[in-house]
């Protein structure tokens, strides 16, 4: 029953996107600044679902353009998710990004993703492991909407789902900035690993 409900929501969201035109998801605005040497090898770009390990700080010069709109999609109140949410809010304030938040509980995660997309952001930033299964179900049907999953990754991401993960002393804020820089430079559908 739950899968049937989820499929119906995905279908409804697809119809609403189609009916509303193709221009409101995604953005043609370009980033401020450029990626530094060592973010990715231009001679060997990462394959779909590939993993890159950028040089520390190679993303520091990249900033979102004026008016960039982000929806923070979050599920859970565990310490890791709370840390991610705080990092996204600090980043958005520092970068003057227009931020809206959609918080969901795990059984309603698909509804939350649909709600986040309906706000027409340039990027949906996802925090919380409880979102992974629902994202895998929904994102492939909405390739015009970019998603950045911070602190987790989908088993088989599509071109519109980028993940930023880290180990050791790296912070959620660094992973977020690296992930956003990658999306802004059209390096999507990959995993950015900081270790």
pTM score of the predicted model: 0.84
Q: Which domains does the chain have, with CATH numbers?
A: 2-194 (3.40.50.2300)
Q: What does the alpha-carbon distance between residue 70 and residue 54 come to, in Å, rounded to a whole number?
A: 23
Look at residue 106 and give its three-state secondary structure: helix
Tokens for 178, please give them.
Answer: 């690296």
For each of the chain's 195 residues, which pLDDT tens digit applies? Answer: 444 444 444 444 443 443 333 333 344 568 999 999 999 998 888 999 999 999 999 999 999 999 999 999 999 999 999 999 999 999 999 999 999 999 998 788 999 999 999 999 999 999 998 899 999 999 999 999 999 999 999 999 999 999 999 987 688 999 999 999 999 999 999 999 998
The residue count for the chain: 195
Q: Where do the H-state alpha helices sit in the chain? A: 2-19, 79-95, 109-118, 132-138, 172-184
Strand pairing partners for 156? none
DSSP 139: G
Q: Does residue 88 contact residue 64 with C-beta atoms inside 8 Å?
A: no
């Amino acid at each position: 029953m739950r899968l049937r409900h989820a499929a119906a929501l995905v279908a409804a969201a697809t119809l609403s996107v189609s009916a509303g035109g193709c221009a409101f998801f995604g953005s043609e605005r370009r980033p401020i600044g450029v990626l530094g040497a060592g973010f990715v090898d231009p001679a060997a770009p990462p394959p779909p679902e590939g993993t890159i390990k950028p040089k520390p700080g190679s993303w520091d010069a990249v900033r979102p353009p004026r008016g960039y709109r982000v929806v923070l999609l979050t599920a859970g109140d565990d310490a890791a998710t709370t840390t991610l949410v705080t990092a996204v809010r600090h980043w958005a304030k520092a970068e003057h990004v227009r931020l809206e938040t959609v918080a969901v509980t795990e059984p309603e995660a698909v509804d939350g993703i649909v709600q986040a997309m309906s706000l027409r952001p340039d990027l949906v930033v996802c925090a919380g492991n409880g979102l992974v299964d629902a994202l895998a179900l929904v994102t492939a049907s909405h390739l015009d909407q970019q998603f950045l999953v911070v602190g987790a990754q989908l088993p088989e991401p599509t071109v519109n789902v980028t993940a930023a993960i880290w180990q050791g002393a790296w912070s959620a804020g660094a992973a977020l900035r690296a992930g956003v820089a990658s999306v802004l430079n059209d390096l999507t559908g990959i995993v950015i690993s900081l270790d």
